[in-house]
Structure 1
């Protein structure tokens, strides 16, 4: 007996990951191949169409059972028309009609959205938010991204900027530095891996007594490991990152009122040393009626393909 299938595509600068999901959001199979972005958008889209067929046909399924294809990628795009206007990771991609071209190549309905939104949808659909209708996902990596899921669907806002959670300005003016977005005091400047590394390097340059000074280079993981080992400087840095992230959750909670906050990305793998501090700050600054669980993401690198697959089922 056949089952409805959904293909999700997570487009990276060098690699495309394609996933095949059933209608419950279970990831059945994946396939990865080079993006080929240096050859231009037409070549990349041709590769994506080929990979989509491979993940279906090579695993014994029928292409006719595919109900739709979803695509997640970074950049500025029109979600409704499926046109990617600009993406820094893809030189030469300007006003590319991804939706219509992929529909021509595959014969399937195609929906597109940005990578942070589809990762959030993946976690909401079959990850740490499964069974819930309203969740907010923060992705803590080089920057801070996120996605808002309301009634099981991505909330995009009128211009697609909803869910740009890394650019909530929570750092006071006297402490604020400029963010990559051009504004000052964004939570991304302190709670991302980049922000944590910057604070650690500043501490070393000031001559603060810390084990981090002995390292030839500092990664965010080094700061968390040092904090777990009792390094007071590292503990201070982690607490500062957690403080502003917790305050951002508090602000989001009284606007969106989600059932759960989910934290993913490389920084979130720090574990209790980060989560305990974030939960404490969140509870302190949030009205009791809006305090909810703050939990780690579950899908890891699969969140993007699962969420993209869900675009044709969970997003309208």
Structure 2
């Protein structure tokens, strides 16, 4: 089976056998600025991995795609994914069938990361936890009683729209208020307001680690935004564990977890849950796609074997 993680910055693919062992892997900077270019990139990478593994396209039983946003199954469009232009058009998602020609499943990327965390990471054996991804975008995967919770329309966990932070939420309808202030772009903007010029959010956090006063103020602002968001999440879901992932959530956890943990008792009525950085890193979505798809892939292989068996 093929696992695919489609993001604004990178595209990652992994080809695995039905035991779950990865036999070929590819990572490339994403061509997400163009719908057609991204689709062509996915098809090209899938073909390269198939050849590398000594397989043919017909050998791929199932493809599982992880993408930001919400799949509108009635129109075939991807909703609430401003970082992937073109995918909001009717029928856009259906062209994923062209990538391998095999059956495919589309899931929200952060939901898959939560599945990966529950199968291979810190969430293993934890019945109630949330995976909060903070990076170029913001989202959350929710696990309740050991099962992924999607909500009535697949929109559970779209915490980018939490009313956290400053500004008019109508100013950028493609991004929620929380995402506009706490994502990578929000961190860069906060630094600029304080007179610090940074090309990336990583630059800000690296400067904070050296003791830069302005960078430390930006970290304090980010921690406050995250703490307010988590306070609302805790009040509604009461998770045992919060796993921080994403380019900011995991990679800047050493700077954020302490101040967030200190702030939460003031904001939340309940005793705060454990807050830890994901141990799966950039592979969380891929591993979640593998865990999610393996059972289905095995069933498909079994059904094909039964269908090919002569009666009697």
Tell me if both proteins adopt one fold, taking TM over 0.5 as the criterion.
yes
Distance in 1 between residues matched to 2:28 and 2:200, nearest whole Å: 29
- Is 1:285 aligned to 2:300, yes or no? no
Deviations 1:229-254 (A, max 9, x none): 33443323212211221121122112
- Note closer, same or farther for the CA distance 1:16–1:133 as it changes in structure 2 (3 Å cut): same
The offset of 1:158, in angstroms, is 1.6
The offset of 1:265, in angstroms, is 1.8
Q: Verify the 8 A CA contact 1:103 1:110 in the aligned structure 2.
A: no
- Note closer, same or farther for the CA distance 1:65–1:281 as it changes in structure 2 (3 Å cut): farther
Selected match of 1:202 from 193, 200, 204: 193
Selected match of 1:83 from 76, 83, 91: 76
Q: Verify the 8 A CA contact 1:191 1:241 in the aligned structure 2.
A: yes
Q: Could you tell me which residue of structure 1 aligns to residue 143 of structure 2?
A: 149
- Is 1:260 aligned to 2:241, yes or no? yes
Q: Could you tell me which residue of structure 1 aligns to residue 52 of structure 2?
A: 58
Q: Could you tell me which residue of structure 1 aligns to residue 306 of structure 2?
A: none
Q: Verify the 8 A CA contact 1:137 1:261 in the aligned structure 2.
A: yes
TM-score when scaled to structure 2? 0.74
What is the DSSP-based 3-state SS (H/G/I as helix, E as strand, rest coil) of the residue aligned with 2:156? Answer: coil
Distance in 1 between residues matched to 2:30 and 2:221, nearest whole Å: 38
Q: Verify the 8 A CA contact 1:178 1:184 in the aligned structure 2.
A: no
TM-score when scaled to structure 1? 0.73
Structural RMSD (CA) = 3.9
Q: Verify the 8 A CA contact 1:13 1:90 in the aligned structure 2.
A: no
- Is 1:193 aligned to 2:184, yes or no? yes
Q: For residues 43-122 of structure 1, what are the structure 2 equivalents within 5 Å?
A: 48=42, 51-52=45-46, 55=49, 58-59=52-53, 68-78=62-72, 83-85=76-78, 88=82, 89-91=84-86, 94-96=89-91, 98=93, 102=97, 106-107=101-102, 109-122=103-116
- Note closer, same or farther for the CA distance 1:71–1:24 as it changes in structure 2 (3 Å cut): same
What is the DSSP-based 3-state SS (H/G/I as helix, E as strand, rest coil) of the residue aligned with 1:96? Answer: coil
- Is 1:222 aligned to 2:203, yes or no? yes
Distance in 1 between residues matched to 2:269 and 2:48, nearest whole Å: 50
What is the DSSP-based 3-state SS (H/G/I as helix, E as strand, rest coil) of the residue aligned with 1:187? Answer: helix
The offset of 1:296, in angstroms, is 0.9
Deviations 1:196-234 (A, max 9, x none): 222221122xxxxxxx4xxx5453233333433334433
- Note closer, same or farther for the CA distance 1:239–1:82 as it changes in structure 2 (3 Å cut): same
- Note closer, same or farther for the CA distance 1:66–1:266 as it changes in structure 2 (3 Å cut): same
Deviations 1:16-37 (A, max 9, x none): 4221346786655413579888
- Is 1:250 aligned to 2:226, yes or no? no
Structure 2: tracts of 5 or more residues without a match: 297-312
- Is 1:304 aligned to 2:285, yes or no? yes
Distance in 1 between residues matched to 2:175 and 2:69, nearest whole Å: 22
- Note closer, same or farther for the CA distance 1:77–1:235 as it changes in structure 2 (3 Å cut): same
Structure 1: tracts of 5 or more residues without a match: 1-5, 205-211
What is the DSSP-based 3-state SS (H/G/I as helix, E as strand, rest coil) of the residue aligned with 1:133? Answer: coil
Q: Verify the 8 A CA contact 1:169 1:187 in the aligned structure 2.
A: yes
Q: Verify the 8 A CA contact 1:167 1:187 in the aligned structure 2.
A: yes
Q: How many residues align?
A: 292
Q: For residues 236-247 of structure 1, what are the structure 2 equivalents within 5 Å?
A: 236-247=217-228
The offset of 1:165, in angstroms, is 1.4
Distance in 1 between residues matched to 2:134 and 2:162, nearest whole Å: 14
Distance in 2 between residues matched to 1:115 and 1:186, nearest whole Å: 20
The offset of 1:76, in angstroms, is 4.2
The offset of 1:126, in angstroms, is 1.7
- Note closer, same or farther for the CA distance 1:271–1:26 as it changes in structure 2 (3 Å cut): farther
